[in-house]
Chains A and B, each alone.
Chain A
Amino acid sequence: MKHKDLQTKLTEAGYIADEGLAMALSLAMTLKRSLLLEGEAGVGKTEIAKALAAVEKTDLIRLQCYEGLDANAAIYEWNYQRQLLAIKVREQADMAPDDVESHIFSEPFLLRRPLLEAISRDKPPVLLIDEIDRADEEFEAYLLEILSDFQVSVPEFGTITARSVPHVILTSNSTRELSDALRRRCLYSYVDYPDPAKELRIVKAHMPDIDDDLARQIVGFVQSLRKEELEKTPGIAESLDWAAALTGLGIAALGDDPGTIHASLVCLLKTEADLKSVTPEVSDRLVGKVA
């Protein structure tokens, strides 16, 4: 798919992507390479995978990484309890030990975890490997192997090759430096906070009923709030929350009710220090800029 077409389709699916990102996605799909997305928390990296799955009309399989994630949780695991039961049953039935063994190490006893699941579909799904930086480096190495060959070896019964190659999207918040090998294997795109025009489109896409003027003010406010020195800069999800909160409170313009505006900032500011640093004076100043 050409990137322009993809961009339009993503917009229809409710995701506003800039041209660079659309190009990265379209290349990842044509070249069958994985795409690594980096960027601050809350800029919509995970949403991209959901939107892509919607565009491709396929399933989204998600692997959330965490410290200590291992092959058992990510690829496959034997269903031990079921195997033990099967052994018990076969013991009564007087079956040859070799037959029992080949029986209990067959596909019905295999628990498919996301990575194996993703390569055993007929229609290529979107495989989202979320927050890869949280997984251990050993896991990263293992993942590389799977992403390059798209096959999984199960020692007990051989190699499972991919029926179709999934569209792989990896995301990272850079809490840890990723290995060069992984970076080289993937296409790369950095997702930044959106510019005002783009953010305005996002707000409108999510909340079609919102008043134009209010939307513009909200976006302007959040944009200038991001320039303040904060511990946790508000992302797109936060501005959408805030917009929903303000419409829910029945506010028509930011200048109307400074007290409520300041109280509603809990939607945007997620740490105590940030809440303290944005005093009513600061929020009034920011409102003054956009009103």
Chain B
Amino acid sequence: MIPGAPSDRVSGFIAHLRLNGFPIGPAETMDALALLEQATWPQAHEARLGLKTMLSAHKANWDDFDALFDAYWFGHGVKTLAVRDDRTSGRRQTQQNRPDLWNRVLPPGVLPAQELLSDDNEDDADGQATQNIRASVQERLSRTDIRHIVSADDVADLEQLAERLAKAMRNRLSRRRKPSARGSDIDIRRTIRRNLSKAGDPFDLVRRKRPERPVNLVVLLDVSGSMQSYSRLFLAFLRGLMGQWLKTDAYLFHTRLVRITDALRDSDHGRAMERLTLMAEGFGGGTRIGHCLQVFNDQYAKQAINSRSVMIVMSDGYDTDAPDAVALQLARLKKRARRLIWLNPLAGWDNYEPVARGMAEALPHIDLFRAANTVADLAALEPELARL
């Protein structure tokens, strides 16, 4: 039994739940206490059911609750604090060994964007000059194959460029509006014009619709060894796309598939690093595209994709799985998603033929097959997305 007044014990329990990922605050503690006070339950079993429905917020909580309840109130050691601490420090150790890639792509400690801002604040003529130089450097970089860019400064610039580009795409997409026969609100201006012939009495109502929703983007990024020189830039691009745009979903794959949406959105630098490090296990090894697509289809597709989703796969198509696996899974994907776009960095090389067998098998199911080895290629995607 846990010592202390009942209310202390309950708030201890709440803290215990919070540590284990329950999104609950002081308000819930009060609620739980009130519930226990007014309830006339003779058994712990009923208190458990009541608290479970009150304090869980999603399925993961729902599934964990019973074990956590037992652990706290009956001391069945499931997840104690000590164990958790071990785990986090273990993570911290791996964090130091993480590949360089993650250091560069994830929310950097010093934002290069801030440098740019401070440039603006300087004396006018000076600032203008710096800007121009930067612009021309970016112009050059945006057309160079990413493979050939080696200097660290250039890479940093490029990442910024990709991120800004993605942000621009995001904004452009969400600003469209159109009138519509079955819209929900009345377009006053058009209504008046339409009814001029009826002495200005507004009898025919013209309606308009709210802006088209931006397309849902779901991106699968290949981070296997063969993609190494490109994946860094693509990740920066993804981070730009993510931003505040709620309808984006991103996944990494190599031999396994990992969802990175939350990690990319995480504003806490340290935590994001920790999460992506865990995800980077096996990074740079072989690729199992077919397998990963299957995992995506089975586990995530229902949630992530609907009939207005655009699915983007960024991969070179070099696969260690059987080639027909990719085709099979793409066919399944195609049924759910509106469009399937495959960005292949190799396609930008001179004389590229999709000879990798997986790639050749996959082509019939793909709506748009594009090169993606320069930033300009990524920019060229925008009209394609806007058309959808």
Q: Chain A residues in contact with chain B, CB under 8 A?
A: 3, 19-20, 23-24, 27, 31, 35, 38, 67-68, 70, 72-73, 80, 84, 88, 136-137, 174-178, 180, 183-184, 187-190, 229, 273
Which 9 pairs across A and B sit closest by C-beta, in order of nearness? Answer: A24-B53, A183-B57, A23-B49, A190-B62, A188-B56, A187-B53, A20-B49, A180-B23, A189-B53
Asked whether, in the complex, the Cβ of A20 is within 8 Å of the Cβ of B52, the reply is yes
A17 to chain B, nearest CB (A): 12
**B126 part of interface (Cβ distance < 8 Å):** no
Taking CB atoms, residues of chain A closer than 8 Å to B306 are 175
Q: How distant is the Cα of A31 from the Cα of B54 in the complex, in angstroms?
A: 10
Nearest-CB residue, chain A, relative to B301: A231
Q: Chain B residues in contact with chain A, CB under 8 A?
A: 23-25, 27-28, 31, 35, 46, 49-50, 52-54, 56-59, 61-63, 184-186, 201-203, 205, 210, 213, 246, 298, 302-303, 306, 332
Asked whether, in the complex, the Cβ of B59 is within 8 Å of the Cβ of A38, the reply is yes
Taking CB atoms, residues of chain B closer than 8 Å to A137 are 246
A171 to chain B, nearest CB (A): 14
Q: Could you list 5 examples of A-B contacts with CB < 8 Å?
A: A23-B53, A27-B50, A183-B58, A184-B28, A187-B53
Instruction: Please give 15 more A-B residue pairs, beta carbons under 8 A apart, in addition to A38-B58, A70-B210.
Output: A23-B50, A23-B53, A24-B53, A27-B54, A35-B53, A38-B59, A80-B186, A137-B246, A183-B58, A184-B27, A184-B57, A188-B58, A189-B53, A189-B62, A229-B298
Q: Tell me which of A67, A72, A184, A188 contacts B184 (CB under 8 A).
A: A72
Asked whether, in the complex, the Cβ of A175 is within 8 Å of the Cβ of B302, the reply is yes
Asked whether, in the complex, the Cβ of A80 is within 8 Å of the Cβ of B205, the reply is yes
Q: How distant is the Cα of A235 from the Cα of B49 in the complex, in angstroms?
A: 25
Taking CB atoms, residues of chain B closer than 8 Å to A24 are 49, 53
Nearest-CB residue, chain A, relative to B261: A177
A72-B185 in contact given A23-B46, A38-B59, A175-B303 (Cβ < 8 Å): yes
Q: How distant is the Cα of A88 from the Cα of B198 in the complex, in angstroms?
A: 13
Asked whether, in the complex, the Cβ of B35 is within 8 Å of the Cβ of A27, the reply is yes
Asked whether, in the complex, the Cβ of A176 is within 8 Å of the Cβ of B303, the reply is yes
A124 to chain B, nearest CB (A): 20
Taking CB atoms, residues of chain A closer than 8 Å to B35 are 27, 31
Taking CB atoms, residues of chain A closer than 8 Å to B54 are 27, 187-188
Q: Tell me which of A35, A70, A184, A189 contacts B24 (CB under 8 A).
A: A184
Asked whether, in the complex, the Cβ of B201 is within 8 Å of the Cβ of A184, the reply is no
Taking CB atoms, residues of chain B closer than 8 Å to A184 are 23-25, 27-28, 57
Asked whether, in the complex, the Cβ of A188 is within 8 Å of the Cβ of B246, the reply is no
Taking CB atoms, residues of chain A closer than 8 Å to B61 are 188
Nearest-CB residue, chain A, relative to B63: A190
Q: How distant is the Cα of A3 from the Cα of B63 in the complex, in angstroms?
A: 21
A190-B203 in contact given A174-B303, A175-B303, A183-B23 (Cβ < 8 Å): no
Asked whether, in the complex, the Cβ of A70 is within 8 Å of the Cβ of B184, the reply is yes
Nearest-CB residue, chain B, relative to A20: B49
Taking CB atoms, residues of chain A closer than 8 Å to B52 are 20
Q: How distant is the Cα of A73 from the Cα of B184 in the complex, in angstroms?
A: 8
Task: Output the residue of B49, B50, B201, B203 with the most chain A CB within 10 A.
Answer: B49
A188-B49 in contact given A70-B210, A80-B205 (Cβ < 8 Å): no
A100 to chain B, nearest CB (A): 14
Nearest-CB residue, chain B, relative to A134: B306
Q: How distant is the Cα of A180 from the Cα of B63 in the complex, in angstroms?
A: 18
Task: Output the residue of A72, A176, A229 with the most chain B CB within 10 A.
Answer: A176
B60 to chain A, nearest CB (A): 10
Taking CB atoms, residues of chain B closer than 8 Å to A175 are 302-303, 306
Q: How distant is the Cα of A84 from the Cα of B195 in the complex, in angstroms?
A: 13
Q: How distant is the Cα of A31 from the Cα of B213 in the complex, in angstroms?
A: 37
Q: How distant is the Cα of A88 from the Cα of B201 in the complex, in angstroms?
A: 9
Q: Tell me which of B27, B53, B59, B202 contacts A27 (CB under 8 A).
A: B53
Q: How distant is the Cα of A80 from the Cα of B184 in the complex, in angstroms?
A: 12
Asked whether, in the complex, the Cβ of A84 is within 8 Å of the Cβ of B201, the reply is yes
Taking CB atoms, residues of chain A closer than 8 Å to B302 are 175
Taking CB atoms, residues of chain A closer than 8 Å to B185 are 72
Taking CB atoms, residues of chain A closer than 8 Å to B49 are 3, 19-20, 23-24
A270 to chain B, nearest CB (A): 13
Q: How distant is the Cα of A67 from the Cα of B201 in the complex, in angstroms?
A: 33
Q: How distant is the Cα of A174 from the Cα of B301 in the complex, in angstroms?
A: 12
Taking CB atoms, residues of chain B closer than 8 Å to A3 are 46, 49
Q: How distant is the Cα of A132 from the Cα of B61 in the complex, in angstroms?
A: 20
Nearest-CB residue, chain B, relative to A187: B53
Taking CB atoms, residues of chain A closer than 8 Å to B31 are 31
Q: How distant is the Cα of A229 from the Cα of B50 in the complex, in angstroms?
A: 34
A208 to chain B, nearest CB (A): 30
Taking CB atoms, residues of chain B closer than 8 Å to A180 are 23, 57
Q: How distant is the Cα of A176 from the Cα of B303 in the complex, in angstroms?
A: 6
Q: How distant is the Cα of A189 from the Cα of B65 in the complex, in angstroms?
A: 12
Asked whether, in the complex, the Cβ of A188 is within 8 Å of the Cβ of B62, the reply is yes
Task: Output the residue of B54, B63, B303 with the most chain A CB within 10 A.
Answer: B54
Taking CB atoms, residues of chain A closer than 8 Å to B27 are 184
Q: How distant is the Cα of A180 from the Cα of B25 in the complex, in angstroms?
A: 12
A27 to chain B, nearest CB (A): 6
Asked whether, in the complex, the Cβ of B303 is within 8 Å of the Cβ of A188, the reply is no
Q: How distant is the Cα of A35 from the Cα of B302 in the complex, in angstroms?
A: 24
Q: How distant is the Cα of A73 from the Cα of B53 in the complex, in angstroms?
A: 31
Q: How distant is the Cα of A229 from the Cα of B332 in the complex, in angstroms?
A: 15
B311 to chain A, nearest CB (A): 16
A20-B53 in contact given A175-B302, A183-B23 (Cβ < 8 Å): yes
Q: How distant is the Cα of A48 from the Cα of B58 in the complex, in angstroms?
A: 19
Nearest-CB residue, chain B, relative to A71: B184
Task: Output the residue of A72, A137, A180, A184 with the most chain B CB within 10 A.
Answer: A184
Q: How distant is the Cα of A73 from the Cα of B24 in the complex, in angstroms?
A: 32
Q: How distant is the Cα of A180 from the Cα of B184 in the complex, in angstroms?
A: 28
Taking CB atoms, residues of chain A closer than 8 Å to B58 are 38, 178, 183, 188
A22 to chain B, nearest CB (A): 9
Asked whether, in the complex, the Cβ of B57 is within 8 Å of the Cβ of A84, the reply is no
B21 to chain A, nearest CB (A): 12
